[in-house]
Amino acid sequence: NAGVTQTPKFQVLKTGQSMTLQCAQDMNHEYMSWYRQDPGMGLRLIHYSVGAGITDQGEVPNGYNVSRSTTEDFPLRLLSAAPSQTSVYFCASSYSRPYTEAFFGQGTRLTVV
Amino acid sequence: AQKVTQAQTEISVVEKEDVTLDCVYETRDTTYYLFWYKQPPSGELVFLIRRNSFDEQNEISGRYSWNFQKSTSSFNFTITASQVVDSAVYFCALSVSPNTGTASKLTFGTGTRLQVTL
């Protein structure tokens, strides 16, 4: 059972480059989200989706774009990378009910130089 | 708005000591859910426990126990007889229940790094 799969695990980008972080889950979860983890800041929500075709902004959405065309996939796009986007990114999924725990991917460590 | 405070940034203990990780939360909602996650050095996030706002029973799972007190808005986590394998960053998180009944966003604390040494 794969759970939540993120690719790549590591990435180095130059300022201004664009890229897509991939996230896929095989648990038929309706709810998916992206977080970034920075030292001393915990995890902060970037974008989330309550189902295919529905996305919304989280706490720190600027510079990121998402779409949800299928239940399984929720890619995160960096439009023009900036050094401030250097972080560890986590994708998570859960059932669309309160009181359900989120399952997290392994994380993507992104460095923007 | 929701807020979770983990005031302890880092804690160091010697193996077999007991240790308590503090978590204080803020929300105006009457229905909410609290979680603890563990992030070992390998980096993944592992779910440990959840508790809803109507269930103030404490819980024990092996060496782990959790104390939920609505009166002080706290959801503290105690590890008894700590082991080196407990070394990790521990996150407390909060979600509230929107009227739609769907899953809600998690608000995380900043985490507590626990170092257990021999």
Give per-residue pLDDT as tens, B12-26.
999 999 999 999 999
**Average pLDDT, rounded, for chain A:** 94
CB contact under 8 A, A101 and B44: no
Q: Count Cβ atoms within 10 A of the Cβ of residue A42 and give its class: 0-12 exposed, 13-18 middle, 19 or more buried.
A: buried
A95 — pLDDT class (breaks 50, 70, 90): confident
Nearest C-alpha of chain B: how many angstroms from A41?
A: 5
The whole-number pLDDT of residue A35 equals 97
Q: How far is CA A52 from CA A18, A73, A76, A102, in A?
A: 24, 9, 14, 18
Contact B24, B8 (CB under 8 A): no
pLDDT of B102 > 70? The answer is no
Inform me whether the C-beta atom of residue B55 falls under 8 Å from chain A C-beta atoms. no
Q: What does the pLDDT look like over A40-72, one tens digit per residue?
A: 889 999 999 999 999 999 999 999 999 999 999
Cα A74 to chain center, whole Å?
A: 7
The whole-number pLDDT of residue B58 equals 84
* Residue in A35, A95, A106 nearest the CB of B103: A95
d(CA A44, CA B3): 12
With pLDDT > 70 as the criterion, what percentage of chain A qualifies? 98
B107 contact residues in A (CB cutoff 8 A): 45
- How many CB atoms lie under 10 A from the CB of residue A2? 9
Q: How far is CA A66 from CA A23, A30, A32, A102, B27, in A?
A: 11, 15, 11, 19, 28
Inform me whether the C-beta atom of residue B106 falls under 8 Å from chain A C-beta atoms. yes
d(CA B24, CA B28): 14
* Residue in B44, B47, B111 nearest the CB of A42: B111
A97 — pLDDT class (breaks 50, 70, 90): confident
Percent helix, strand, coil in chain B, to 5, is 5, 50, 45
Contact B112, B89 (CB under 8 A): yes
Inform me whether the C-beta atom of residue A3 falls under 8 Å from chain B C-beta atoms. no
pLDDT of A93 > 80? The answer is yes
